[in-house]
Amino acid sequence: MAVSFFLLAALSACTDKSTQQDPAPAPIVNQQRLQELDREPGTWLTGGRDFQQRYFSPLNSINTENVAGLGYAWHHDFDSEHGFESTPSVVDGVLYASGPTGTVVALDAVTGQEKWSFAPQIDPASIRRVCCGVVNRGLAIWQGKVFVGALDGFLYALNIEDGSIAWKTDTITDHERGYTVTGAPYIANDLVIIGNAGAEFDARGYVTAYESTTGEQRWRFFTVPGNPDNGFEHPELEAAAKTWDPNSLWQVGLGGTVWDAMAYDPQLDILYVGTGNAAPYPRKLRSPEGGDNLYLASILALNPHDGKLIWYYQTTPGDNWDFTATQKMILADLEIEGETRQVIMQAPKNGFFYVLDRVTGELLSAKPYAVTTWASHIDMDTGRPVETEQAEYFYQPKLIFPSAAGAHNWQPMAYNPHTGLVYVPVIESAAIWTMPTEPFEYIKGGINSTSLYIFPIRGEWGLDSELARTLPSLEELSEGQPDTTVRGFLRAWDPVTQTLAWEKETSGPWAGDMFAFWNGGGVMTTAGGLVFQGRATGALVALDAASGEELANIDMAAGMMAAPMTYAIEGNQYVAILTGVGGGIGQVHVPGSAAYEYGNKGRLIVLKLGGGDVPKRARVEHDESDGFPIPPVLRSGSETQVAEGADIFLRHCAKCHANIDGRGAGIPDLRRMNALAHSEFDNIVLKGTRVDRGMGDFSDLLSADQVEATHKYLIELAWKAYENAKAPSLPHQPAARE
């Protein structure tokens, strides 16, 4: 077992830090090797293994007949309690994995011995600019270098032999805005391509290409226009501006960030890029006269040499619901109506599964893979969704499927060419949307998404929230609508017939609660006829890829969100997965989750046939008493001060601190602050004294008076929870295994 210090080093280092043992010869990873990867079935070179991003391995030593014998081989521990969302790569006997904030480790893929590790020095202020945790979704390996994006927007090229820095470059245009980098870089035509996140804040989306050898910028493509009065960076923006109100809120940035999915077809020499949601969410605010608002929520086909647009397809024109098209995209050749078509497939947040001709962008088919009420269908003549009356929430609150979490979020889906099926982690959930009652006020570097929504569940993210008290009842809003029970599924989808082949519910012990949809992690499939998926409950399951029958259920004693991968060395096949939950709802550790039972420190776990039980960490002790602890400080805020604090908290704090009772969570319930935290509150917020734990410095956003008001509000909140004994909490259950 080895240990890396990851986040603490990333935050406290005076310089970017790399530690290494004796360097090994650099493996050669180039375009030819990636194109001929099927000659190396035991190698996994990209996040999705290959250029196609299929999350499919041709290995079959582990198969439907023997997968029940899969067990522990080795593990590597990380000293970070934040979420791990990346999938490792294995090249020439070395496993490379990225972690929170853009840390990287290189390990011997047979023994787990650490070869080197790298932790970037990041700007602590970037921590507060994340909507969904300080996560990182992967790295790229190319021509003797490992490329990774750090949270604060720097792109690093590391020498693959020892992890030393070959070059680094700042990818962010304006650090005063809410930009971060959480996505993986991609390689296209010897260029390193990277996007960014921050649409909920005030980011203006773009994707940038850099020379892999020097870090010199080759081109940049903005996904939404800036103020037309200032001109356009490239011709595509002039056309896009015609789909926006001339009086749009240009100063807000307007979103469209490229925070995850890309793919590259070397034969066609086309780079595919998925773009994100808008800010503010409601088009009525950001572009009052309407319009499609290009290129939000779109799949873009770009020339990788110069960044010019070849074609685009917008999945959600004029997006009002946070329906990103940043979900993983898969390249495949499918037999459709007797003709082999080169396609790109995506299951974005909006609930429709899209199959496009990846040469021309022609829509070949689109059908709902989950419950959708915002649109009845996709018109095949126009390629556009046909919106329903239920989609419109500008004048009255509406219950809308899917929720802002999407029918499918970032968790990778996988395509198995042997079964012809795509395996999608699916969320069945609605959201109740309403418009804000206060006029829009732009906050530089702050949250600007503006729209208000809750989930149809009990708790502070749902029906027990302050917002819920201003809305019609759930019974009234859900009349005539589908069942609002929140559930999660793994669905096997036939992309040719656009039909469901099979499904397995992945709600765990949380059916009907928000945590149900975060239990099912990313997916990997193999030529051994298997589908692997990790769960927040701590179970890694292996299913028959053809039927969905569960063939193995391995207790990993650690929560999982990331997609697994598999590799082979000297005839032995291994399965590897990064563990550690986080990002959005995953930051709350509730009873029934492995993070609640065993803590959430990251761990890479590797399995092999004939291995034993996975070693468990010691169980975490929790106070399981009913009720709510008496706050250690007295009420002292005026009604005006508390109200001001509530507004500040909603704008700047609630995106992380939802104050749901997940004791032991990476993101604390601030109603449960102890006396020490109360006494240090000002220093924590204004001086960053807990930056090593992931709590950023807000001194450039908040005054001392505003921090005091926020503190008074939290004290009031704690006393109300104590007096009412209504701190939302799930009943304690043992750590369920599926």
Active site residues: 322
First to last CA, the chain: 27
Judge whether 453 and 447 are in contact, CB under 8 Å.
no
Helix (H) or strand (E) run with residue 679 in it: helix 675-679
How many CB atoms are closer than 10 A to CB 25? Answer: 9
Q: Tell me the C-alpha distance between 680 and 572, whole Å.
A: 53
Instruction: Output the CA angle 535-541-544, nearest 5 degrees.
Output: 135
- Helix boundaries (H) for 351-411: none
Q: String of b and e for 55-82 (b: at least 16 CB within 10 Å)?
A: bbbbbebbbbeebeebebbbbbebebbb
Q: Are strands 487-494 and 499-505 parallel, antiparallel or unpaired?
A: antiparallel
- Please, are residues 280 and 451 in contact by the beta-carbon 8 Å criterion? yes
Q: How far apart are CA 270 and CA 51, in angstroms?
A: 11
DSSP codes, 568-630:
EETTEEEEEEEE---SGGGGS--TTSHHHHH----EEEEEEET-BPPP-PPPPP----SS-PP
Burial class (CB in 10 A: 0-12, 13-18, 19+), 36: exposed
In angstroms, the CA 586 to CA 104 distance is 22
Angstrom distance (rounded) from CA 129 to CA 151: 9
Measured from the Cβ of residue 19, the count of other Cβ atoms closer than 10 Å reads 16
| Diameter over CA atoms, the chain | 74
CA distance 536 to 534: 7
Provide the 8-state DSSP code for 180: B
- Residue ranges of E strands in 369-526: 375-379, 384-387, 398-400, 414-416, 421-428, 431-434, 452-454, 487-494, 499-505, 520-526
- Measured in whole angstroms, the distance separating CA 316 from the mean position of its chain's CA atoms is 19
CB atoms within 10 A of CB 333: 12
Nearest to 258 by CA among 310, 331, 190, 307: 307
User: What is the DSSP secondary structure assignment for residue 557, as one 8-state letter?
Assistant: S
Contacting residues for 299 by C-beta, under 8 A, at least 6 apart: 272, 273, 274, 275, 312, 313, 315, 325, 329, 344, 346, 354, 356, 361
In angstroms, the CA 75 to CA 105 distance is 13
Cis peptide before 412 (omega within 30 of 0): no
